[in-house]
Amino acid sequence: MFSADQESAMFSPYIHAFALFFSLLNPFLMSVYMVGMIRNTDAKIFSKALIQGSLIAFGVFILFAWGGENIFSRYLNVRFESFQIFGGLIFLVIGYRYVFQGAETIGEMRGAPEHLAGTIAMPFMIGPGTISAAVVTGVSVPFTGAMVVIALTLILTCSILILMKFGHDHLRYKHAKYIDRYFDIVGRLSALLIGTIAIDMIVNGIVGLIRSANLG
């Protein structure tokens, strides 16, 4: 039998790993990023693409939980900072185009419905922050535990986003005018947030490259 303190110490790394991953995936903030998709995509297509995107993200996160950031330098022969900069540029384009073109720009960027899963996986789920969280999770808990934590986080995230889409579609019929106006305003405000995060990612990547060059 374990004491309460022993049980707390046993599960604490799992709780911390889950909290870190969930706060970075953050389905509530992700819904703001994905406002164009929630607004303009059929519910069945959205749900299917979200699940497929989550499976793609799960595979990537598991890979980094197993191999760590060394995957970039050892196997891909690139730096993690370069990934940060590129991810920042993708977000910057999304934010810039949304500010000036609105939700229609998301439809242009995602292409055909069969490509929607890839758009959801990257950049909305897979990014420098969540990859770093996967690395930390792989270090702090056993690999099988990391798989469970990542899977539970993605399942919870998908469930919340699907419920949000369901709620949006049902409220939209009754209050179409107000829902569309709300999503347009929130979408443009979120674009400013996305752009700000993008700049921060780019700056962090550049600073990391400079530090690496100085240490080298």
Percent of the chain topping pLDDT 70: 79
Burial of 80 (0-12, 13-18, 19+ CB in 10 A): buried
Q: Which residue has the tokens 């699907």?
A: 162
Residues 61-101: pLDDT tens digits? 999 888 876 777 777 777 777 877 887 887 788 777 777 76
Closest by CA to 124, choosing from 113, 110, 103, is 110
Q: What is the pLDDT of residue 110?
A: 47
CB count within 10 Å of CB 111 equals 11
Cβ neighbour number for residue 122 with a 10 Å cutoff: 16
> Is 3 part of a structural domain of the chain?
no
Say if residues 164 and 38 touch (Cβ distance below 8 Å): yes
pLDDT: which is higher, 178 or 210: 210
CA distance 114 to 170: 25
Q: Is residue 216 part of a domain?
A: no
Does residue 169 sit within a domain? yes
Domain of 193, in residue numbers: 29-210
Burial of 146 (0-12, 13-18, 19+ CB in 10 A): buried
Quick check: is 131 in a domain? yes
Of 207 and 189, more confident: 207
Is 36 a member of any domain? yes
| Residue 8 forms part of a structural domain | no
pLDDT at 1 over 50: no
Q: Which residue has the higher pLDDT, 64 or 172?
A: 64
Residue 145, Cβ density class (10 Å: 0-12 exposed, 13-18 middle, ≥19 buried):
middle
pLDDT at residue 106, rounded to an integer: 53
pLDDT tens-digit readout, 88-144: 887 788 777 777 766 555 544 444 555 678 878 877 788 777 887 888 788 788 889
For residues 182 and 180, what is the distance between their CA atoms, to the nearest angstrom?
Answer: 5
Count CB atoms within 10 A of the CB of residue 144.
8
Alpha helices in the chain (DSSP H): 4-25, 27-33, 35-40, 43-67, 70, 80-101, 104-110, 116-119, 128-140, 143-174, 176-215
Q: How confident is the model at residue 51 (pLDDT cuts 50, 70, 90)?
A: very high
Count of other CB atoms within 10 angstroms of residue 41: 20
In a domain, residue 14? The reply is no
Res 175: pLDDT: 67
Stronger pLDDT, 49 or 75, i.e. the higher one: 49
9 within domain boundaries: no
Q: Which residues lie below 8 Å from residue 25, measured CB to CB, with a gap of 6+?
A: 125, 130, 153, 154, 157
| Among 3-12, 125-134, 160-169, the least confident range | 3-12
Per-residue pLDDT, 216:
60
Number of domains in the chain: 1
